[in-house]
Structure 1
Amino acid sequence: MKHFVTGLLLCLQFFSALPVKRELSLTTKDVTAMYMLMPLLSLLTGATSLGFLAINNYWLELSPLLAAIILVVTMIGVTGGIHTDGFIDTSDAFFSYRDQEKRLTILEDPRVGAFGVLAVVCFLLLKVGFLYEALLREVNIFYFIAIPLLSRVAMLLYFITMKSAKTSGLAAYFKERVQAKGVIIACIIYSLLVIGYAVYVGEWSLLALYGIMLIALFYYRHWSNKNFAGMTGDLLGAFYEGTELILWGTLLLFI
């Protein structure tokens, strides 16, 4: 139990903006617990989204467009923008059209290039548009938790099944210390919970989104190996953001 408590605190420390100002151990069991519990961060982001929507419905009464913008900004704030930063860096590297070695070098560059700016502007516009549409259509609020959850499960499966493209960086550091078996078991449990809930309540759209998530994982793994020769922390963040966008788009445009 101690390792899971430490793992949860590590999740909040590394993958959220919550101020966990403690020096925590990073043993194999602690790091494994951190990754096993990572999808639970979706409860934090989901609760924040639903809390804002409740306040808006009963008090603020903002337009769906402004509400969608605030939701996107709030989610960046809750996560500390870590995944968005990965999306920017990955876009800079990929659209440089250089070889794998140079792309990995660009990933490590703290400066933001034109391609990263253009990509993140397009990404944020699409995300605001999808959430605006979701609010207009009064989509089941469950998806504000389910889509981030599926995206994090996809990110975990990507992390655990890919080799590191670099020997440095947090992703490579954690990759050396995590126990793959524990993370895979956790992903199976999360998957069964999602599938079981979908079948129980007849939410077949959720099953379709789960399938789309697996397809996105398959293609992203191939894309990463081809263009970066493996996985990095930035690629993980980009995959999370991209999967969320794909799932929202699929739900609104095709289901």
Structure 2
Amino acid sequence: MERLVADFGRALMLLSRIPWPARLEFQSGLIARSVWCWPLVGILLAGMAVLPAQAVLGLTGNTGLAAVFALMALVGLTGALHEDGLADCADGFGGGVTRERKLAIMRDSRIGSYGVVALVIAFAARFFVLQQAIESGVFMMLLLVVALFSRLSMPVIMLFLSPAREDGLGRGAGRPAVVPFLVAALLCILLTLLLAGPVMMLASVLAMVLACFVVGLLARWQIGGHSGDVLGCCQIVTEIFVAIALLSVLHGGLA
């Protein structure tokens, strides 16, 4: 039990700004071992983001404002970790010519025009899907399911791609073993079945696979593997893809 609690604390500290009371080690392999509970961290963060959004919705009745507060909460809870990865990937992939130059740009803390454009598009997409979810009465379900599968997407990338650098988060995290990954996948499937049903679950799985394929293929082509930035980028892309898939199912009356 102590090991499981430590895994969760490690995952929480890695994927959010929420502090953990005990001191934890982050040696190679321990991060990869904790991937089984990454979806649980995702659903915890999403559940916390629902609260201010619902409060604003109750006070104002404005769905757009509620969507903004949900996004603000998510960004605050994660410290814009995933958004930073998306912006760095956009700058590196778009601005570099050689693999080495792309990796150097991704490590630069400054943001360029590609990164700004990527963030604007991503926030716009997330805002509109959340607003539609609120108007359709599926806001909480969508936010929780999206949080589950977007956190599962990162271990998928870690499992199937090698690190692009000899140092950094991608190398230090290690490659997940099959059992922790399968536990994470099973948690996503079971919780989505409870929250949304089998059709939504299948749509979410397919959307996540597509997002991982697109980001993974692009990362392998551009830098020869994954990095911490690629993982963050994949989380954002998966979040958007899964949300679109869920809304498409609802729009088509298939749920």
Q: TM-score, normalised by structure 2?
A: 0.88
Aligned residue in 2 for 1:92: 91
Q: Which amino acid in the other structure matches residue 201 of structure 2?
A: L
Pairs within 5 Å for 1:49-60:
49-58=49-58, 60=59
Structure 1 Cα separation of the partners of residues 45 and 192 of structure 2: 21
Aligned residue in 1 for 2:128: 129
Aligned residue in 2 for 1:189: 186
Structure 1 Cα separation of the partners of residues 237 and 126 of structure 2: 10
Aligned residue in 2 for 1:25: 25
Aligned residue in 2 for 1:219: 214
Change (3 A) 1:218 1:122: closer
Aligned residue in 1 for 2:81: 82
Aligned residue in 1 for 2:204: 209
1:242 pairs with one of 228, 237, 242? 237
Which shows bigger deviation, 110-119 or 12-21?
12-21
Q: Does 1:45 align with 2:45?
A: yes
SS at match of 2:95: coil
The number of residue pairs the alignment matches comes to 250
Shift of 1:250: 2.7
Structure 2 regions of 5+ residues with no counterpart?
none
Q: Does 1:104 align with 2:103?
A: yes
Aligned residue in 2 for 1:230: 225
Root-mean-square deviation (CA, aligned residues, Å) is 2.3
Cα distance per residue 1:79-134 (max 9 Å; x no partner):
11111110110111111152222111111111111211121112112211221121
Structure 1 regions of 5+ residues with no counterpart?
none
Q: TM-score, normalised by structure 1?
A: 0.88
Q: Which amino acid in the other structure matches residue 230 of structure 2?
A: L
Structure 1 Cα separation of the partners of residues 117 and 141 of structure 2: 31
Percent identity over the alignment? 24
Q: Which amino acid in the other structure matches residue 6 of structure 1?
A: A
Shift of 1:247: 1.6
SS at match of 1:18: coil
Contact 1:3 1:30 in 2 (8 A): no
Shift of 1:196: 4.8
